[in-house]
Structure 1
Amino acid sequence: MLSFVDEELVLDRGNVNVEARGNLMTFGFTPESFDAGPVEQALVAVGERLGARFADVAGPVTFYAWYDEQAGQLRCSAASAEPNDLPFRGRFRPVDSPSPVLALMAADALPGVVPWTDLREVAAEEDAGPDEQVEHTFPVFAVKLTR
């Protein structure tokens, strides 16, 4: 995970989705041997080191990490966006500690498996009414790297 710091990151302010996909790193895990402590330390260290690397870059750049429950993976990326404007289609909440993200991982006994009982039909965006509430938000550890 610490190797993320040494990666050549894509910065394309005109297309934040290209940045997010180009900078994506994924990490699988096995629940029985998962230890959140070292992973938390590594994520914080990556944020600090990237912060030093991008301290003089103009405009927003954010390092972020989240748990993709459907894939059963910890995912990290960086994008030219503020923490509240990261390129997710789902509802998320930026957090300043990796703990909420890692808690989701630790609680997942079957990474990458979504039981049928947890699935529900979602109306197409054009069919959704303005009062339709999104029930689920997910935590995203976000570190703003620039001033």
Structure 2
Amino acid sequence: MLLKEIRAIAGETLVISPNDQDAEHANTNWLGAPPHERMGLSADEVVAAFEETAELLRDQVAGKHQGPVTFYVWHDGQAGQLRCSAGSCPHDKLPFGSPYRTTSDLHSIVTEFLVDRAPGAIAWGQLEPVPIPSDPAAEADEFPVWVCDLQP
């Protein structure tokens, strides 16, 4: 089911609106799978589905938009989901409210998602106290985001 959902993204019309990037939130997809489905999938299969989707989205964008158009994928561990989106932003200006780092390694992001046997849950013993930062500019850990340029 997960692979089918990923491939279905390519059939959706992308909203690319550099002057109204809030409208581009319509491109965001939340993808989950129960643990038994995750165990039956390989990271290679999921990566291939995302790469196929990116190619089809690239065809959809070709010649229609000026400026950057980026497709990107990340693992939201708190929600237990893979998420992906596309927008008229360069790799270094993705619309995240927390620090991220771009990567070409989609395999590790997908693997992290697939090995999560309790998606969206944190065991009580794994909770750690969060100190109040003395420096308001202190940054949280960066999370990896796979990026793919959709402009030819």
Same structural fold, with TM-score higher than 0.5 when normalized by the shorter chain? yes
**Aligned match of 2:27:** 23
**Aligned match of 1:46:** 53
Moved over 6 A (4+): none
In the superposition, the TM-score normalised over structure 2's length comes to 0.81
Distance in 1, matches of 2:56 and 2:131, equals 40
**Identity %, equivalent residues:** 30
Structure 2 unpaired stretches of 5+: 1-5
- The answer to whether the 8 A contact 1:61-1:78 is kept is yes
Cα offset for 1:143?
A: 0.6
Cα offset for 1:106?
A: 2.5
Name the CA shift for 1:123/1:33 in 2 (closer, same or farther; >3 Å).
same
Which of 132, 136, 148 is the matching residue for 1:143? 148
Which of 77, 95, 107 is the matching residue for 1:69? 77
Cα offset for 1:16?
A: 2.2
Distance in 2, matches of 1:84 and 1:67, equals 18
- The answer to whether the 8 A contact 1:5-1:49 is kept is yes
Number of residue pairs matched?
142
Which of 10, 15, 36 is the matching residue for 2:15? 10
- The worse-fitting range, judged by mean Cα deviation, of 37-46 and 101-110 is 101-110
More helix by share: 2
Distance in 1, matches of 2:78 and 2:23, equals 22
Distance in 1, matches of 2:81 and 2:14, equals 20
Name the CA shift for 1:15/1:33 in 2 (closer, same or farther; >3 Å).
same
RMSD, aligned CA: 2.1
The amino acid across from 2:115 in the alignment is A
- The answer to whether the 8 A contact 1:93-1:140 is kept is yes
- The worse-fitting range, judged by mean Cα deviation, of 76-85 and 9-18 is 9-18
Give CA-to-partner distance per residue, 1:39-61, whole Å, 9 cap, x none: 11100111112122213221111
**SS where residue 50 of structure 2 aligns?**
helix
Give CA-to-partner distance per residue, 1:85-126, whole Å, 9 cap, x none: 1111121111223212112112312101134533543658xx
Name the CA shift for 1:17/1:33 in 2 (closer, same or farther; >3 Å).
same
Distance in 2, matches of 1:55 and 1:119, equals 47
